[in-house]
Amino acid sequence: MVLGAGFGGLELSAMLAEELGDRIEVTVIDRGDAFSFGYSKLDMMFRGASLDSVGLPYATIAKPGVTVLKEEITAIDPEARTVTTDRGSHQADVLVIALGADFDFDATPGLAEYGTEFYSFAGAAAAAGPIADFNSGHAVIGVCGAPFKCPPAPSECALMLSDELTRRGVRDRCEITFVMPLGSPVPPSPETSAALMAEFDSRGITFVGGKRPARLEPGKVALDDGTELPFDLFLGVPKHRAPAVVIESGMTEDGFVTVDSATLKTKYEDVYAVGDVATAGVPKAGVFAEGAAKVVARELIAEIRGEPVPEPYDGRGSCYIEFGEDRIARVDIDFLSGPEKTGEFNPPSLALRDEKDEFGASRKARWFGL
Ligand SMILES: Cc1cc2nc3c(=O)[nH]c(=O)nc-3n(C[C@H](O)[C@H](O)[C@H](O)COP(=O)(O)OP(=O)(O)OC[C@H]3O[C@@H](n4cnc5c(N)ncnc54)[C@H](O)[C@@H]3O)c2cc1C
């Protein structure tokens, strides 16, 4: 039983169906009707995409052995491996938690009232209006806590906002400040951080690292060191935590589910956690959720076939980064296979845009048959 049909849940169920067909029953539960790539949020904010246009409907999934249920999960008992939903209860032999990360708005008073968050699909859709109306004044992009999904995404937002204002001929009437708790835009890759800082410099974007927005009031944000910044537009990344149903299940420590990084096993028998919901020693991003899901799938397949235990999770994944002006860069992250965390930078180019498009198209075909 797979809880959540995001990057992790979709890859896990696709791989089990591919390898084992209807030899096993895979039930995937998600409250949504459709999956969308996280990066579609930027397309909704800056490229006029609608939520409907970026959604891939779960109804199109037709894989042997796989059933997708549209239900809201309301309780999880990891000891008994039972799951309660708004429709009833389910018993699993093996349970995989892939419910992603949720937001803790209470951690940043005033964010919900006076700011605009762009990390949920509803938030990104709602942010498009204030961005289109912003023609002068101070825009602050603020990350309210770490860890957060897709560490380069707020940098992408800053660059895309600057380009959008330039396109509209109002850039010189606007200031952009980007505040984040990390000391540099992408800490595991100094080269990526340097390239982003150079782009910020060339566009006049002020980067404030090592600080986080602590509280918002109308038109003003207080940072955790007491500094105050005025704003006319606040584009925020709320502090993250596991969904409430996971926290209430007692599986979390410091907001997320602790797992063995090598195997993605939790401390409960036959219960795994993959992706943003887990603390696996890797960044919170779709490619890592997908990589972790592959490891769990290999473990389950090996167990069923009586084969040797597969290789541990290597924590490798490539993230595409919008550098503005339609150019894309790529950072190849390796967090677990060697003695150090590394991030190799591939400079921005138009060719990498085609590669990112192919990344999306290949998942669409593999997971949805579209
Ligand atoms: C602006 C932005 C840009 C990004 N760009 C990239 C990128 O370029 N590359 C990349 O790899 N990642 C990117 N990401 C990050 C990526 O979207 C996430 O890290 C990824 O989706 C995590 O996958 P997951 O499977 O852990 O969880 P999710 O994909 O979040 O899936 C979790 C699922 O659980 C379901 N769910 C949650 N609670 C319940 C419940 N109670 N009952 C039923 N269902 C429930 C949800 O409906 C959801 O479908 C980006 C994120 C943002 C915000």
Q: What does the alpha-carbon distance between residue 15 and residue 138 come to, in Å, rounded to a whole number? A: 47
Q: How far is ligand 1, taken at its centre, from the CA of residue 150, in Å?
A: 10
What's the chain's average pLDDT? Answer: 97
With a cut of 90, say whether residue 53 has pLDDT above it. Answer: yes
Q: Name the residue with the closest Cα to ligand 1, atom 22.
A: 286
Q: Pocket residues for ligand 1 (CB within 6 Å)?
A: 4-9, 29-32, 38-39, 41-42, 72-73, 98-100, 119, 149-150, 153, 243, 245, 275-277, 284-287, 289, 319-320
Write the residue with the smallest CA distance to atom 11 of ligand 1.
Answer: 286
Ligand 1 centroid – CA 215 distance (Å): 26
Phi-psi category of residue 322: left, alpha or beta, with phi > 0 → left and psi -120 to 50 → alpha: beta
What ranges do the domains of the chain cover?
A: 2-101+242-314+361-368, 104-239
Q: Are 142 and 149 in contact (CB under 8 A)?
A: no
Confidence grade of residue 366 (pLDDT, cut at 50, 70, 90): very high
Q: Is pLDDT of 356 > 90? A: yes
Distances (CA, A) of 246 to 5, 211, 264: 15, 29, 16
The whole-angstrom separation of Cα 171 and Cα 354 is 28
pLDDT at 21: 94
pLDDT band at residue 325 under the 50/70/90 scheme: confident
pLDDT the model gives residue 244: 98
Classify burial at 28, counting beta carbons within 10 Å of its beta carbon; exposed 0-12, middle 13-18, buried 19 or more. buried
User: What is the arithmetic mean of pLDDT over 151-166?
Assistant: 98
Q: In what order do the strands lie in the sheet with 256-258?
A: 252-253, 256-258, 278-279
> Within 10 Å of residue 55's Cβ, how many Cβ atoms?
15
d(CA 70, CA 3): 11
Task: Calculate mean pLDDT across residues 34-43.
Answer: 98
List, for residues 176-202, the tens digit of each pLDDT value: 999 999 999 999 999 999 999 999 999
Nearest CA to ligand 1 atom 41: 73
What is the mean predicted confidence (pLDDT) over 58-71?
A: 97
- pLDDT mean over 127-147: 98
Hey, which CATH number is domain 104-239, 3.50.50.60, 3.30.70.1880, 3.40.47.10, 3.90.550.10? 3.50.50.60
* Residue 31 confidence (pLDDT): 98
Residue pLDDT, tens place only, 222-257: 999 999 999 999 999 999 999 999 999 999 999 999
* In the predicted structure, residue 326 carries a pLDDT above the cut 90: no
Mean pLDDT of 119-144: 98
User: Is 104-239 in the same CATH topology as 2-101+242-314+361-368?
Assistant: yes
- In CATH terms, is domain 2-101+242-314+361-368 a member of 3.50.50.60? yes
- Per this entry, what is the length of the chain? 370
Q: Which residue puts its alpha carbon closest to atom 51 of ligand 1?
A: 38
Nearest Cα neighbor of 331 from 195, 205, 143 is 195
Of ligand 1's listed atoms, the one at least distance from the Cα of 119 is 53
Residue 41 pLDDT exceeds 90:
yes
Pocket test for ligand 1, best of 10, 30, 69, 96 (most atoms within 8 A of CB): 30
Alpha carbon of 204 to ligand 1 centroid (Å): 31
pLDDT tens readout for residues 93-124: 999 999 999 999 999 999 999 999 999 999 99
Q: Is residue 78 predicted with pLDDT exceeding 90?
A: yes
Distance (Å, whole) CA 214 – CA 322: 27
- What band does 169 get if pLDDT is binned at 50, 70 and 90? very high
Q: What is the best residue among 33, 89, 150, 320 to mutate for testing ligand 1's pocket, by most ligand atoms within 8 Å of CB?
A: 150
Kindly give the interhelix angle for 153-167 and 190-203, rounded to the nearest 10 degrees.
20
- For the CA of 9, the closest atom of ligand 1 is 25
Count Cα neighbours of 190 within 13 Å in the Cβ-side half-sphere.
0
* CA separation for the pair 118, 131 (Å, rounded): 11
Span from the CA of 229 to the centroid of ligand 1 (angstroms): 31
